[in-house]
């Protein structure tokens, strides 16, 4: 069974509202068989990204993330609650921090919100990717209103460049938003 087949098999177990395409974004890895630190079962699709816990946790399977058992067992979070936009419901923060795989940023990952809920993480982008997607003007307007850097500097962002973009999409209105990190 291939990497994508596992996620297609049972979307109810492996679907993440705030990170809907974790294979595409690289949140999950495959290529070797590992043992999930939470359930103890072998898996060839595993998470080895950001997980904040007192215990050193190397690998987690998608199921243990999605059902919250990994966060509960290790008293850990996948996203630092202090590094998130504000939302209307504390249950949204619980789902993001305890049942959603994070993304790998250069410094501290930050999760954007819009319309009172967290946005879905789409992936790592440079400005040229935003132009190709036809959303550069939308992102530029939003970033000019809410960002913390000059937009001309942001236009220099490139995948694996000195300025990295992390693209999010509002689950309610579909607006794209960008978080930027500098190495």
For the chain, the domains span 3-78, 112-182
pTM score of the predicted model: 0.90
> Taking the chain, what is the end-to-end CA distance rounded to the nearest angstrom?
37
7-37 pLDDT per residue, tens? 444 444 478 999 999 989 999 998 899 999 9
Q: Are 127 and 135 in contact (CB under 8 A)?
A: no
127-168 pLDDT per residue, tens? 999 999 999 999 999 988 887 778 888 888 888 888 899 999
């Amino acid at each position: 069974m291939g990497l994508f087949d596992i996620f297609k098999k049972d979307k109810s177990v492996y679907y993440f509202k705030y990170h809907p395409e974790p294979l595409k974004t690289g949140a999950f890895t495959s290529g070797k068989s590992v043992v999930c630190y939470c359930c103890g079962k072998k898996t060839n699709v595993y998470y080895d990204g950001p997980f904040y816990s007192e215990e050193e946790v190397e690998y987690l399977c998608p199921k243990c993330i999605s059902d919250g058992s990994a966060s509960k067992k290790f008293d850990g979070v996948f996203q630092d609650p202090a590094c998130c936009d504000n939302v209307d419901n504390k249950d949204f923060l619980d789902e993001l921090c305890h049942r959603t795989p994070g993304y790998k940023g250069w410094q501290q990952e930050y999760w954007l919100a819009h319309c009172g809920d967290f946005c879905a993480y789409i992936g790592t982008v440079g400005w040229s990717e935003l132009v190709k997607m036809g959303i550069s003007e939308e992102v530029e307007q939003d970033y000019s209103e809410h960002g913390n850097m000059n937009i001309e500097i942001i236009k220099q962002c490139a995948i694996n460049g000195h300025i990295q973009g992390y693209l999010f999409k509002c689950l309610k209105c579909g607006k794209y938003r960008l978080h930027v990190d500098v190495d």
